[in-house]
Chains A and B, each alone.
Chain A
Amino acid sequence: MNFKSTTIGVLGLQGAFARHIAMLDKLGVQTMQIRYPNEIDNCDGLILPGGESTTISKLLDEMKLRECIQKYNRPMFGTCAGAILLSRNSDDPRIQTLNRVPINTQRNAYGRQVESFIASVDLSFDKKPFNAVFIRAPKLRQPGKEVKVLGTINGEIAFVQYKNILLSTFHPELTDDPRIHSYFIKQLIRK
């Protein structure tokens, strides 16, 4: 499959955006770092990376990007902090979410950095589990009816799809395994 004509935007305000761009480069997709409103109009999809959700949330408001992402109807993928931002509600009142996926998030649900870990995520679309990095990770709670669970860790939800939006509580961009990004491109963008 030729991805050359596909451009994916990566929200580049703060966090692990460069690692997402590196992964997409490896998959042969065109990428664009998004820092200004309207830049996303030129993209076939958008990734909201991990980082600090309070920081990213403030920068979204500061740069008037919140409304653009709220209205964006092409595929999106939020990892960690990005997943918190796309969720319906976070347990932390400091975060104003974008309410794009009917699911709640609990911030830093596993604890502080000493509790961060690497573990296998079981995927619904592939027999081989995904070795995933969880950094001060959130948990996904109370999914709405139309939310499809794509990945679990010890039975807990770690990766979901709702219409054309993916959320993961882990960081596929920190590994060399491209399967999660491939899924986003093949199943949501190039379907």
Chain B
Amino acid sequence: MDKGSFEVKVGLAEMLKGGVIMDVTTPEQAKIAEDAGAVAVMALERIPADIREHGGIARMSGPNVIKAIQSTVSIPVMAKCRIGHFVEAQILEALKVDFIDESEVLTPADEENHIWKHDFKVPFVCGCRDLGEALRRIGEGAALIRTKGEAGSGNIVEAVRHMRRVQKDIHRLTTLRDDELMAAAKEMGAPFEIVRQVAKTGKLPVPNFAAGGVATPADAALMMQLGAETVFVGSGIFKSEDPADRAKAIVLATTYYNDPEKLAEVSMGLKDAMKGLDIASIPEEERLAKRGW
């Protein structure tokens, strides 16, 4: 019996496709997310918008929060560890979380190295801004890639930028000759064998999800139309005035992302979305997407 292989890890990511993964900080929120139709929840101590507001060092959630959420819902429970903090990851694995997000939303523990994710049985998801970053993380063992976007901003612009960039980079690889791929790998700083694979298949070897700034059903559908296979919603739900209704609307918008009439219908009657931030108003050093490489 083969447990924890790359195929088994990617297998769970495949099951999450076409769904919505929601950030939650309490068992009550987790229940709201599950009842709304979330495919998984991300157990956090603070949602990104609050991390941004309150500052300080953001670390892995305490085991109590994670355990309480695990015993409340039946859907997969994910949790975040700091970039490079492999001991937080070991603890999360011991807690049997279903997926670990090595996330730029938390304060990085290592400014040079990410976690060697092949050492773990639990699958990892990592953020990226372009294809090179995605392939470096896959080289380290990530079973799922998401755009970084700009977490806690309620602004979709960065997620769009990152998703378009990844798609454009993939397309470009497929137009190159074999003798041009090594130079492309060098330029992207990505593992050559994976670069070759992407050039040949025209897609990432793992699922590609969107995160960072989704606040409305329309945002979720936009990311799906741009090629995301599932959507993470962080602050967008529980920073809004109507979490349960909004969560359900975003779930429907993700399934019916290319049906404008349905999108109009699910968007009806929602209260105010989270206020959100203009990216230009976030000082360069406070931009979460810049963390990790």
Task: Using CB atoms and an 8 Å cutoff, list the residues of chain A in contact with chain B.
Answer: 12-19, 35, 50-52, 54-55, 58-59, 62, 80-81, 92, 94, 107-108, 111-119, 133, 135-136, 171, 174
Contacts and interface: CB of A to CB of B under 8 A. Distances in A.
Contacts of A55: 19, 37-39, 75, 251
Nearest to B38: A55
Nearest to A107: B74
Given A113-B76, A113-B122, A135 B96 contact: no
Contact of A114 (B4, B11, B75, B252): B4
B245 interface: no
A58 B255 CA distance: 12
A171 B11 contact: yes
Nearest to A175: B7
B99 A113 contact: yes
Contact of A17 (B12, B16, B18, B98): B18
* B interface, size bucket: 35 or more
A51 B13 CA distance: 10
Contacts of A171: 11, 14
A42 B76 CA distance: 34
Interface string B1-14: 11111011001101
Per DSSP, are chain A's interface residues mostly helix, strand or loop, or mixed?
loop
A135 B18 contact: no
24 contacts: A14-B19, A15-B14, A17-B17, A50-B15, A51-B19, A52-B19, A52-B39, A54-B37, A58-B36, A80-B15, A94-B74, A107-B74, A112-B96, A113-B123, A116-B11, A117-B2, A117-B3, A117-B8, A118-B5, A118-B7, A135-B14, A135-B15, A136-B98, A174-B11
Contacts of B3: 114-117
B34 interface: yes
Contact of A35 (B15, B19, B256): B256
Given A114-B4, A117-B2, A133-B8, A51 B18 contact: yes
Given A16-B15, A114-B3, A114-B93, A58 B8 contact: no
Interface in B230-275: 251-252, 255-256
Closest 9 CB pairs of A and B: A113-B98, A118-B2, A14-B18, A135-B11, A58-B37, A52-B39, A112-B96, A117-B3, A55-B37
A58 to B, nearest CB: 4
A111 B96 contact: yes
Interface of B: 1-5, 7-8, 11-12, 14-19, 34, 36-40, 74-76, 93, 96-99, 121-123, 251-252, 255-256
A15 B19 CA distance: 7
Given A15-B19, A52-B40, A81-B15, 7 more contacts: A59-B255, A112-B97, A113-B12, A114-B121, A117-B8, A118-B2, A118-B8
A82 B252 CA distance: 19
B287 to A, nearest CB: 31
Contacts of A15: 14-15, 17-19
A55 B21 CA distance: 11
B37 A118 contact: no
Nearest to A18: B17
A119 B38 CA distance: 29
A50 B15 CA distance: 6
A35 B15 CA distance: 17
Nearest to B120: A114
A17 B4 CA distance: 23
Contact of B14 (A16, A54, A58, A92): A16
A174 B7 contact: yes
